[in-house]
Structure 1
Amino acid sequence: MNETFENYIADKGLNDNDLAQAALYYLSEKYGDPTATEMREKLYKATGNPNAVDAGLDRLTHEPLALDAASHSMLAWAWDQPEEAIRVERAVDAAKQKLPVIEVGLLSLVAMYGMYLVVTGNLKSKTTKVTLPDGTKIEKVEEYYPPSLSNLTTLFKAENDPEP
C-alpha cells in the first residue's frame, strides 16, 4: 500500500479514541484475541519485572496522551509491515462501527502489549561483523525501534539486548 498511515487516518477522520479501539481490534485479530490475563502474564515474563509493567500500565491508564501515542505508534508500525495495512484497515473499520470499549485499563494493556509485540517481533536490524587486530571476530547487531515508543519500549529492549 502506498498511502502513509498519517494520510490514511486523516482521510478517515480518526480521533485518538478510534485509534485505541482499533489497536484492540488489530491485536485481537492478529494474535487470536488474547485475554487481559494472557497479555499481562506475557509482559511480566518478557520483562521479568512486574512492577515496571504495572507502572507502565498505570502511566498509560492515567495519561491519555501516552495511551494515544502508544496506540498510534503500534498501528503505524503495523501499517508499514508487509500485508498488515489491510488488517489495520479492518480494525479501524470495526472500531468505527462498534460501540467503544470504555475500560481504560484494558486499552492501556492492549497498548502496552502492542508495544511489546513491536519491540520483540519483526525487528529491523543491522548486523556488522568486525575483525579485531588479534584476529578475533565480533558480530554486532543493531536493532531499530520506533522512536516515539522509546519511553516504554526500553522496558522490553533491555530484556532482548544481546550480552556484550
Structure 2
Amino acid sequence: MKKLISILLISALALFWLPTKSFAAGGIYASGGGSHVVGESFSVTVSASGATFNALEGTISVSGPVSISSFSAGGATWTSIPANGTHFIGMIIPATDSLRVATIKLKATGIGSGAVSVSSVRLANAGADVGSGAGSASFSIAKAPQLASVTVTSASHPDQN
C-alpha cells in the first residue's frame, strides 16, 4: 500500500514539472482609423494575431458617415467571405500566428465619427479555442477646410464687370 501511495504521490508531483504549452490570447482587431475630412479616402485593416491558429470566424461592421469603396478579403480559404455585417468563417493551412482578414477602403461622406468593429470572434487551432479577443478602429470625419479665395486686381485693367 505504501508503494502505491508513493507512486501516486511521485506521479502527481511530476505533473507539476512537466512543460505545458500555453496559448496567448489571440484575437481579430481593426487598425487604421484616425482623423479625416469629408471627401477623403482611407483604409482600415482587420488582422488576426496573438496565437497560432488554423481557423477563424467573426463579424466585421462598419458604422459612421462613410461609404465602402472596397472590401477585400485576406489570404485564407473562406467558407463565408468577410463583408460588412456578415459573419465570416475561414481556415488556413498550415496554421499561422498572423493573418490579414480584410482591407476595407472607405470614403468620408459626412461629418461625424464611426468605427470598423469586429465581434463574435473565435480563433481555433486543431479544434481547440486559442482566442476570442476583438477590437475596433475608430475614426472621426471633419469638414474639409475652406480653400482661400483668390482676389485678382490690376491697376491697368480695372474691374471688368
- TM-score of the superposed pair, with normalisation by structure 1: 0.21
Structure with greater helix percent: 1
Structure with greater strand percent: 2
Mark the structure with the bigger radius of gyration. Answer: 2
